[in-house]
Amino acid sequence: MSDTSTINSKGQLLTNDGVPLKESLRKSLRRTKIRSFLLILAPLLFISILFVNPIVQLLSRSIDDTLINQVFPETFAQYEVWEDKSLLPSEEMFAAVIIDIRNTHKLPDGKGKQLLGKSGTRMNYEYSGWRSLLKKTVKEAIKVDKKSKEEVKPFTWEAPFKDKMVKKDKRWGKVETWQSLGAMKDPYTMGYYLNAVDLRYDANKNIIEKKEYLQIYKTIWMRTLKVSLMVTIFCLILAYPVSYLLATLPMRTSNLLMICVLMPFWTSLLVRIVAWMIMLQQHGVVNDTLLTILPCFEGMVNLPFFGETNIDLCFGEEDRLPMMYNFTGTIIVMTQILLPFMILPIYSVMKGIPPSYMKAAQNLGATPIMAFIRVYMPQSVPGIGAGCILVFIVAIGYYITPELVGGKDGQMIGNFVAREMQRTLNWGLGAAIGSILLVAVLILYWAYDRLIGLDNLKMG
Amino acid sequence: MKFPSYTTTKQKLWHYFYLFFCGFVLFFLVAPLVVVIPLSLTNSPYLQFIPEMKLFSFDTWSFNFDGYGTRWYRELFGMCDTVTQATTVCTNRWMIGIKNSAVIAVFATLFASILGTLAALGLSNRHMPFNRAIMALMISPMIVPLIITASGLFFFFAKVNLVATITGLVIAHTILGIPFVVITVTASLSGFDNNLMRAASNLGGSPLRNFFKIQAPLIAPGVISGALFAFITSFDEVVIVLFVGGPDQYTLPRQMWSGIRNEISPTILAAATILVLFSILLLSTLEMLRRRSERIRGVRPG
């Protein structure tokens, strides 16, 4: 039957085996889908488990406040019923603190001590002084009466605690200390994010600005944005003419010049930074060269209108430009490092623009400049877009270059993430800054995919 | 330079200015790398040019090589006994670093090439659901700021006891290498004619045999250039090593990093010169591959 009839009773086209063609095609499509899926499975799992998962875990640190809630459940419960937050809380709340400390301290294997230590650090972020206050109080709260003959020795400190605590440390008598608990009472907090943009919670969990002298991150965010924008613009200005040259020159010459673009691209980042240090330092190549080639004229000259004037046109030892370990250094070095990322996409787009368009425009009466602006430039816009987004994405998360050549005023947000992670050890804050940065980068990445398409991403 | 007869002086001037500007940009790109080479061949412990290094004297009209030598190269290769002036600490950390970097880079490249190629092959199927999203995910390690990746991996590795191990570094560098392989292999697959595979199946080849006989040789240049990118990325990576590497895990970039930050010595320049030469070697390999792939596909270089 299968040999003779190729159409069944329902009017469907059949294959040689007598299966409807549609179904057979669907089957084969499904088979290729499964095969592709199996191919992807290993790399997908690898990236998901070892890359995405760690980053998600890192980001979850930025809102996590469970530790402190685990240690002070009673205290926070009392905080909820504390009515007038401008007055000192009642005896119950003082007692709750002591109960929480004692309960936590009881935990086996020194876990309690560790938890209390970590809590102190956490509380210190909200109100400085908490760490020492807590340490002092813990020491007092867990003292037991050694002379007692009972099996479970009673604590030396007995209720009421309020006066004893205030007497021990007068910070317990300050309402600000108690108010600062408000920012920590929920297991999830936005506190780190607020901190990352120089805001904070007040006692009633309203968001307010930090005190002027405590604001640091706003400046850093602005500087990061400024550096990235400046580097992008400089790269564009430098890259556009060069890309045009490379795209219009004969293949042989342009390939040769292309090596100049690709060589730095392929050279180690650290090598390039060392190279720039030699170029830009106080006694570096650039300053030495300027010193040698710039004219030096000094002396009295009789000028019309001004009369006898002392003119000093010397570029002397004291005029050596500071170009390293500051903002300028960061900009110069980052521009050189990221320039190939701008040249390559623009070049590849320009390569596809037929030169005859410009000639046609000029034939129709446009001046060369007009033809370039009206005909050539609009066609190169995709390349410009790709290059700018790419450079900006890479620049905004830069860490190594500002760290090594940035000095004090060239530090970017990436350096502060590293600082929180490695030195200050305020991991929550580091994670919050990092996640803001990550969101910015991902938005740009998404825009890149939408506008240009990831499959057009090329290297070299 | 030949101009058509109708070119005005202004246009000519403009053109020369334009060429000068382009020359300046290319100079800006390459000059710093070239400066490193002569400085690495000096005997002085300073990272700057000093009068003793003047190669040619116009006064006596003669060459002078006194200031030059291979001192820093000997130090780089850990030949400490031959160093006469001991101004900097001589260690064999550089050699350990080079060895560690090479081992990590080779393994990371291998894994990244395999995983990246698999992903690119799977993603080349246009009917695959979530194709675009998976592609974006695979390329994301290249986009996410390194400092975030490094912090994330640090906490994760601390949990699974991979901090300060070679395995941990290999995993991290594999992650960084995958996007490059995915991109280059996808690019070489985009020019691949699927009818070739159909024809092969028609002729009775099994899918596996078809892959190795037909598809693999055609995408090989893509795989190799992706692998080169992955290798160079791993060989040059410092942020992740600083975060997840142990205090005794020296790699070449880490050694350079601490060299730049702490005991700045021209040994860095010797290492830098070797790396520059190395990158030239890689670049020529890549160019050769590109020409080969064009030849195979019958694309003629213009």
Over the stretch A117-168, which tens digit does the pLDDT of each residue have? 888 888 888 888 888 888 888 888 888 877 777 777 778 887 788 888 888 8
Mean pLDDT over B155-170 rounds to 94
Neighbours of B216 (CB within 10 A): 12
Q: Strand, coil or helix: what is B245? A: coil
Nearest residue to A272 via CA among B31, B150, B104, B41: B31
Nearest residue to A420 via CA among A54, A71, A62, A134: A62
Look at residue B90 in the predicted model and tell me its pLDDT: 65
Determine, for residues A242 and B119 on separate chains, whether the beta-carbon distance falls below 8 Å: no
Query: Is A298 within a domain?
Result: no
Determine, for residues A437 and B187 on separate chains, whether the beta-carbon distance falls below 8 Å: no
Residues A229 and A354 in one domain: yes
Determine, for residues A271 and B39 on separate chains, whether the beta-carbon distance falls below 8 Å: no
Say yes or no to pLDDT of A1 above 60: no
Nearest residue to A244 via CA among B287, B1, B24, B19: B19
* Best residue in B11, B26, B134, B148 for a mutation probing chain A (most A CBs within 10 Å): B148
Chains A & B: contacts with CB separation below 8 Å: 260
Query: Is A302 within a domain?
Result: no
**Amino acid residing at B205:** G
- Model confidence at B88, in pLDDT bands (50, 70, 90)? low
Nearest residue to B230 via CA among B77, B116, B92, B60: B116
Determine, for residues A339 and B29 on separate chains, whether the beta-carbon distance falls below 8 Å: yes
List the alpha helices (DSSP H) in A53-110.
Answer: 53-60, 66-71, 73-81, 91-105
Look at residue A125 in the predicted model and tell me its pLDDT: 84
Distance CA A273, CA A279 (A): 10
Distance CA A368, CA A361 (A): 8
Look at residue B299 in the predicted model and tell me its pLDDT: 53
Q: Strand, coil or helix: what is A8? A: coil
The pair of three-digit structure tokens given for residue B15, joined into one six-digit string = 């053109």
Distance CA B124, CA B121 (A): 5
Q: Which of A25, A44, A60 is the last residue of a domain?
A: A60
Mean pLDDT over A353-370 rounds to 89
Cis link prior to A89 (omega < 30° from 0)? Answer: no
Look at residue B300 in the predicted model and tell me its pLDDT: 47
Question: Taking a C-beta distance cutoff of 8 angstroms, is the pair A99, A161 a contact?
Answer: no
When CB atoms are compared, the residue of B146, B171, B253 closest to A270 is: B253
Over the stretch B9-59, which tens digit does the pLDDT of each residue have? 888 899 999 999 999 999 999 998 888 888 888 877 777 777 766 666 667
Per-window interface: B 193-252 vs A, CB < 8 A: 207, 225, 229, 232, 235-236, 238-239, 243
Question: Taking a C-beta distance cutoff of 8 angstroms, is the pair A177, A183 a contact?
Answer: no
Distance CA A353, CA A350 (A): 5
DSSP A295-322: ---EEEEEETTTEEEEEE----GGG---
Distance CA B177, CA B274 (A): 22
Residue for token digits 């009209």? B61
Q: Write the DSSP symbol of residue A147.
A: T
Say yes or no to pLDDT of B295 above 80: no
* Best residue in B143, B186, B231, B280 for a mutation probing chain A (most A CBs within 10 Å): B143
* Best residue in A39, A246, A444, A449 for a mutation probing chain B (most B CBs within 10 Å): A39
Say yes or no to pLDDT of A102 above 50: yes
Residue of A nearest to B17 (CA): A241
Q: Which residues from A are below 8 Å from B118, CB to CB?
A: 39-40, 42-43
Look at residue A455 in the predicted model and tell me its pLDDT: 67
Distance CA B265, CA B268 (A): 6
Residues A243 and A384 in one domain: yes
The pair of three-digit structure tokens given for residue A137, joined into one six-digit string = 């109080």
CA distance A156 to chain B (A): 40
Question: What residues form DSSP beta bridges with A155?
Answer: A144
Domains of chain B: 98-297 (1.10.3720.10)
Output the CA angle B178-B180-B181, nearest 5 degrees.
65
Say yes or no to pLDDT of A425 above 80: yes
Look at residue B100 in the predicted model and tell me its pLDDT: 93
Residues A239 and A326 in one domain: yes
Neighbours of B295 (CB within 10 A): 11
φ/ψ of B102, rounded to 5, equals -65, -45
Output the CA angle A415-A420-A424, nearest 5 degrees.
125
Mean pLDDT over B116-145 rounds to 90
Per-window interface: B 248-287 vs A, CB < 8 A: 253, 256-257, 260-261, 268-269, 271-272, 275-276, 279-280, 282-283, 286
Q: How far is CA B14 from CA A363, A365, B21, B25, B145, in A?
A: 21, 20, 10, 17, 41
Look at residue B86 in the predicted model and tell me its pLDDT: 52
Mean pLDDT over A175-189 rounds to 85
Say yes or no to pLDDT of A305 above 80: no
CA distance B111 to chain A (A): 10
**Amino acid residing at B67:** G
Residues A273 and A396 in one domain: yes
Question: Taking a C-beta distance cutoff of 8 angstroms, is the pair A340, B25 a contact?
Answer: no
- Name the helix (H) or strand (E) containing B202: helix B195-202
Q: Is B171 on the interface with A (CB under 8 A)?
A: yes
Determine, for residues A277 and B25 on separate chains, whether the beta-carbon distance falls below 8 Å: no
Determine, for residues A36 and B128 on separate chains, whether the beta-carbon distance falls below 8 Å: yes
Host domain of residue A110: 66-187
CA distance B144 to chain A (A): 7
Query: Is A300 within a domain?
Result: no
Look at residue A2 in the predicted model and tell me its pLDDT: 43
Say yes or no to pLDDT of B301 above 50: no
Q: How far is CA A20 from CA A11, A14, A27, A29, A396, in A?
A: 10, 4, 11, 14, 56
Mean pLDDT over A383-397 rounds to 93
Q: What is the CATH number of the domain that holds A367?
A: 1.10.3720.10
Query: Is A91 within a domain?
Result: yes
Query: Is A214 within a domain?
Result: no
Q: Which residues from B are below 8 Å from A58, CB to CB?
A: 148, 151-152, 155-156
Residue of A nearest to B239 (CA): A400
Pick the range with the lowest mean pLDDT from A59-73, A78-92, A219-233, A426-440.
A78-92
**Amino acid residing at B251:** T
Q: Which residues from B are below 8 Å from A406, CB to CB?
A: none
Distance from chain centroid for Cα A108: 39
Residues A330 and A259 in one domain: yes
Distance CA A302, CA A304 (A): 7
Determine, for residues B283 and A259 on separate chains, whether the beta-carbon distance falls below 8 Å: yes
φ/ψ of A144, rounded to 5, equals -115, 155
Q: Which residues from A are below 8 Å from B238, CB to CB?
A: 269-270, 400
Residue of A nearest to B116 (CA): A43
CA distance B77 to chain A (A): 18
Q: Which of A137, A171, A187 is the last residue of a domain?
A: A187
Q: Which residues from B are below 8 Å from A276, CB to CB?
A: 32
Over the stretch B263-285, which tens digit does the pLDDT of each residue have? 677 888 888 898 888 888 888 88
When CB atoms are compared, the residue of A278, A434, A454 closest to B36 is: A278
Residue for token digits 């031959």? B82
Q: Which residues from B are below 8 Å from A454, CB to CB?
A: 132, 135-136, 139
* Best residue in B151, B165, B211 for a mutation probing chain A (most A CBs within 10 Å): B151
Helix axes A111-126, A130-141, angle to 10 degrees: 150
How many domains is chain A partitioned into structurally?
3
Q: How far is CA B6 from CA B9, B12, B14, in A?
A: 10, 11, 15
Residues A48 and A144 in one domain: no
Look at residue B80 in the predicted model and tell me its pLDDT: 66
Query: Is A56 within a domain?
Result: yes
* Best residue in B2, B14, B127, B144 for a mutation probing chain A (most A CBs within 10 Å): B144
Higher pLDDT, A92 or B170: B170
Q: Write the DSSP symbol of residue B56.
A: E
When CB atoms are compared, the residue of A43, A339, A445 closest to B119 is: A43
The pair of three-digit structure tokens given for residue A13, joined into one six-digit string = 């086209």
Largest CA distance in chain B: 81
Distance from chain centroid for Cα A265: 23
Determine, for residues A267 and B175 on separate chains, whether the beta-carbon distance falls below 8 Å: no
Residues A36 and A79 in one domain: no
Q: Is B22 on the interface with A (CB under 8 A)?
A: yes
Determine, for residues B31 and A279 on separate chains, whether the beta-carbon distance falls below 8 Å: yes
Question: Taking a C-beta distance cutoff of 8 angstroms, is the pair B172, A69 a contact?
Answer: no
Residues A22 and A92 in one domain: no
When CB atoms are compared, the residue of B127, B145, B154 closest to A33 is: B127
Q: Which residues from A are below 8 Å from B221, CB to CB?
A: none
Distance from chain centroid for Cα B287: 14
Residues A55 and A116 in one domain: no
Residues A244 and A386 in one domain: yes
Q: Three-state SS string across B99-121, please? A: HHHHHHHHHHHHHHHHHHHHHHH
Residues A174 and A94 in one domain: yes
Per-window interface: B 59-98 vs A, CB < 8 A: none
Distance CA A339, CA A10 (A): 64
Residues A257 and A388 in one domain: yes
Nearest residue to A284 via CA among A314, A340, A324, A327: A324
Look at residue A203 in the predicted model and tell me its pLDDT: 72
Pick the range with the lowest mean pLDDT from A119-128, A244-253, A379-388, B165-174.
A119-128
Q: Which of A45, A60, A75 is the last residue of a domain?
A: A60
Q: Which residues from B are below 8 Å from A438, CB to CB?
A: 144-145, 148
Distance CA A103, CA A35 (A): 57
Query: Is A251 within a domain?
Result: yes
Query: Is A86 within a domain?
Result: yes
DSSP A264-300: HHHS-HHHHHHHHHHHHSTTSHHHHHHHHHS---EEE
